[in-house]
Amino acid sequence: MAHGLLVMAMHLELTPALTATPSNPAHMPVTDAWRDPLGLMLESTGEGVFGVDLEGLCVFINPAGARLLGWTQQQVLGQNMHVLTHHAHADGTHYPLDDCPIYNAFRKGEPCRIDTEVFWRADGSSFPVAYSSYPVFDQGQVRGAVVTFADITERKRAEAALHQAKNELEQRVAERTQALETALQQVRELAAWSDAVREEERTRIAREVHDELGSLLVALKMDVGWLDKRLSEQEQRSALEAQSMREKMRGKCQNMGRLIENAVVNVGRIITDLRPSILDHQGLWGALEWQAQEFVQSAEQELKWCMEVNEQRVLPEPMAMAVFRIFQEMLSNVGRHAQARTVDVDIVEREDWLHLSVEDDGCGAEARAFESAQAYGVMGMRERARHFGGAIDIDSQLGRGTRMRLSMPLPSWEGAP
């Protein structure tokens, strides 16, 4: 076909009517047009097609090719096509003739298909092009080459957009992967911290049971043994000795009563640490106020208390426990770090949301302190809140105190008006 195009091109050179007026086929007899179907195809194709001889001079070009290059057909015929339209790379650097794949088609008989270069227009602008160059043989001799080319600007633009989208997607995937890995690491660290805290709490409770209750029970056992021994000797004593012994036994019983009271207090404290029974007795709202009062009395701080909730609303036990534990941790942070004089507690129910805030006038801290991977207390609060669809917000500045706020959606309530 390439040889046919070149032969046809020679024919077109000898038939200016076909070359000069391709856009006006109405003036050409239909029968003449169909006598040369290859010429008709060349004239009507949307891709650019041109042929060059052994010197690289254009021997024919179809209307689409001339239009893509910004020239007329007559202006291109006889021109060196490399010098005219392939003289520079996309960056404007010189394109040596010896490196041109188009010319290698008839110099070395090597066909090529290229889509990484540009052609230059008559106005000096360039466009990305996909072109093919095939040698034309006549009786075993190379006579020239036929080049087909197409403007692939839109394709390159689409490829660039696709490449950019791919890069953005890969970046987002990498960011999400990194975020997931970080979150997973934090969960692992939180779980390890929770286990460590649990073991520490078990150790503390075991120590208290051993040291406090154990010593109390040993003392009670010794007192009971003392009473048993003295009672067995009661008949052998005189009346005066018996009266004195009764006084001693009365004192011993009073001491045993005190030991029992201390044991009850310690048992109650240990039980409260394990599970605040006040939640069962007074409900969440009463338990929160009790905890706040207990804290400020122990820390010798002033409490500013405000609670605007419907105290008839009863939260599900897991949610109530989460709110209470979060509140305990907020107060614990104040006690450990704030060095505050005043604690402001604000508990508000608004539009089916619970907002609980603890604000102090202490030393404050930088924001990154609460985002640290070792801020397990804050991490634990956030995990508890997140489990029920809530969130923890922290606002703190050095020298200006800290404000921690829990926001949690409240479940629907049958007692709502």
Sheet with 141-151, edge to edge strand ranges? 58-61, 48-53, 141-151, 126-138, 112-120
Which residues, other chains included, contact 392 with Cβ-Cβ below 8 Å and sequence gap of 6+? Answer: 326, 378, 381, 382, 385, 404, 405, 406
* pLDDT winner (highest mean) among 165-174, 214-223, 265-274: 165-174
Position 23 pLDDT exceeds 70? no
Query: Alpha helix (H) ranges present in 91-152?
Result: 101-107
Report the pLDDT value the prediction gives residue 18, as an integer from 0 to 100. Answer: 36
Report the pLDDT value the prediction gives residue 15, as an integer from 0 to 100. Answer: 38
Report the pLDDT value the prediction gives residue 10, as an integer from 0 to 100. Answer: 41
Position 262 pLDDT exceeds 90? no
Tell the burial category of 86 from Cβ atoms under 10 Å away from its Cβ (0-12, 13-18, 19+): buried
∠ Cα 272 276 282 (to 5°): 125
Report the pLDDT value the prediction gives residue 5, as an integer from 0 to 100. Answer: 47
Report the pLDDT value the prediction gives residue 2, as an integer from 0 to 100. Answer: 41
DSSP three-state, residue 215 = helix
- How is the chain split into domains, by residue range? 2-151, 171-269, 278-409
- Cα-Cα-Cα-Cα torsion 287, 293, 296, 300, nearest 10 degrees, comes to -150
Select from 111, 54, 134, 52 the least CA-distant residue to 86. Answer: 52
DSSP three-state, residue 227 = helix
Whole-prediction pTM: 0.44
Report the pLDDT value the prediction gives residue 126, as an integer from 0 to 100. Answer: 94
E-assigned strands of 246-341? 302-308
Return the bridge partners of 137, or none: 142
Report the pLDDT value the prediction gives residue 61, as an integer from 0 to 100. Answer: 92
278-409: CATH number: 3.30.565.10
Mean pLDDT across the chain, nearest whole number?
A: 80
Model confidence pLDDT, tens digit, residues 317-336: 889 888 998 998 899 888 88
Model confidence pLDDT, tens digit, residues 160-194: 999 999 999 999 998 888 888 877 777 777 666 66
- Answer CATH for 2-151 from 2.40.50.140, 3.30.450.20, 3.90.1150.10, 3.90.870.10: 3.30.450.20
